[in-house]
Amino acid sequence: MKKILILLVAFTTVIVSCKKDFGDLNDNTKQPVIVPPGTLFSFAQKSLSDIMTSTNVNNNVFRLFAQQWTETTYTDESNYDLATRNIPQNFWNTVFTSVLLNLNDGARLVPLQSDAEANAAERKNQAACIELLEVYTFATLVNTYGDVPYSEALNATNVVPKYDNAETIYLDLMRRLDAALTAIDAGADGFGSNDLMFGGDMGRWKTFGNSLKLRMAMIIADSNDALAKTAVSAAESNAVQTNADNIVFQYLSAPPNVNPVWSDLIQSGRKDFVAANTMVNAMIALNDPRIPLYFTTDATGAYSGGIYGASNNYSTYSKPNATLTAADYPAMFFDASETHFLHAEAIERGYIVGDAAAEYAEGIRASIEAWGGTQAEADAYLAQPSVAYATAAGNWKQKIGTQSWIALYNRGHEAWTTWRRLDYPVLTPPTDANSAVPLRYTYPVQEQNLNTANYTAAAAAIGGDIVETKLFWDKF
């Protein structure tokens, strides 16, 4: 009986203890109640830079679409097989989850900060920074897929969001872009050290926003001429003008915050890519001084690209230059070369007054010098009849399109977008390709399975969920 009593007392003590501490078990001590918005903003910046820079064929195959690189052993992606690795779904999930959801949560938390954490001007600037990065990201999604979830996206209570019309999204993004630029107080701080691109320098964010506005305006030039002209006129003098203004995400020399190209190609030891003959042959024909800056020499000491879409021996052909595979090589968001080419195009379209030939030449100069070439090399290159604006082959679209494509090396998404807009240079699909050169990513399989009704409506609205479907701005 005594033993039973002791056990009963012990059991009662355990019950009392459990009742007393039960509520504490529901507290996740490792998850903060409120996350500082600056932390979310930093994570979103790096996630965006990583996904746009990556060479991992499970996510980003834009360099292959632009025929800057080609593959060695595994050639599915060079032949436009997006389904085997579920590439569109991987890209979609990263952009929505790692970038946009963090930006959205950051925007919600910015106004909850105390004055001690961020004063009113700083909070306003932080909200503007988030808006600008959201606009950039949603514009990238539209330029990749077409119609996407937008007005009902980022809502945790709605797991089956509708898809919005791509052109309607674009118009709203440009409205939001203007509002964010107006809201910026360049004399106040933003996210400070949590801003991994500019360290809180709001003047640089104005340059970012105007560069984005210039690019977006020119993308819709064939679909909305009036809006494009107005936007270009407002932004063109405030975008990146010189290489000193180039907007980059600077990686570090040690993991984990390193250049994804280094992680994918050097740290991994993989030998998946060589230069594509499409790009190398075009540059050789023009005696382009950037060839040794873009690529290594091949097995013979010259420069050659693997046959695009074929299986290529890694040791035989030129590879990406060691400069861009360095651990701390930065990701490029906007550069002076892009601005000058967009200026040249805007002049040809009658949007702004100026000398298209001079802007074209400045675009080439800026690219050569940014990659480490000299002014003398740029002068000699431009003096060639095959390069000079007055004598280079084709109309202004061919001249500007070809040189923009060369200058946008290692920026696969922008090179692909410029090619889709201007239709130059002429890119030919490989013999065994699954399709023509893709004009968009297809929608994720998960959307077909889990958001079926909205997926079906979106696919019908754009003209079919295939890679050959043109986006709303791709008129020719």
Q: Where do the structural domains in the chain lie, given as residue ranges?
A: 37-73+85-258+328-462
Q: Are the C-beta atoms of residues 190 and 183 closer than 8 Å to each other?
A: no
Beta bridge partners of 164: 148
Provide CB contacts within 8 A for 61, sequence distance 6+: 77, 82, 87, 412
Provide CB contacts within 8 A for 211, sequence distance 6+: 235, 239, 240, 247, 333, 334, 338, 339
User: What pLDDT, on a 0 to 100 scale, did the predictor assign at position 30?
Assistant: 53
Taking the chain, what is the end-to-end CA distance rounded to the nearest angstrom?
94
If 0-12 CB within 10 Å is exposed, 13-18 middle and 19+ buried, where does residue 366 land?
Answer: buried
State the Cα–Cα distance between residues 295 and 293, nearest whole angstrom: 6
Local structure of 374: helix, strand or coil: coil
User: What pLDDT, on a 0 to 100 scale, did the predictor assign at position 32?
Assistant: 55
If 0-12 CB within 10 Å is exposed, 13-18 middle and 19+ buried, where does residue 385 land?
Answer: exposed
In CATH terms, is domain 37-73+85-258+328-462 a member of 1.10.287.3510? no
Local structure of 297: helix, strand or coil: coil
The number of beta carbons lying within 10 Å of the beta carbon of residue 427 is: 18
Provide CB contacts within 8 A for 395, sequence distance 6+: none
What is the distance, to the nearest Å, from the Cα of residue 247 to the centroid of all Cα atoms in its chain? 13
Q: Are the C-beta atoms of residues 82 and 441 closer than 8 Å to each other?
A: yes
Beta bridge partners of 148: 164
Q: What is the pLDDT along the chain (476 residues), one digit of tens a residue?
A: 333 333 333 333 433 444 445 455 555 555 555 789 999 999 999 999 999 999 999 999 999 999 999 999 999 999 999 999 999 999 999 999 999 999 999 999 999 999 999 999 999 999 999 999 999 999 999 999 999 999 999 998 999 999 999 999 999 999 999 999 999 999 999 999 999 999 999 999 999 999 999 999 999 999 999 999 999 999 999 999 999 999 999 999 999 999 999 999 999 999 999 999 999 999 999 999 999 999 999 999 999 999 999 999 999 999 999 999 999 999 999 999 999 999 999 999 999 999 999 999 999 999 999 999 999 999 999 999 999 999 999 999 999 999 999 999 999 999 999 999 999 999 999 999 999 999 999 999 999 999 999 999 999 999 999 999 999 999 99
User: What pLDDT, on a 0 to 100 scale, did the predictor assign at position 34?
Assistant: 73
State the Cα–Cα distance between residues 268 and 271, nearest whole angstrom: 9
User: What pLDDT, on a 0 to 100 scale, did the predictor assign at position 11?
Assistant: 35
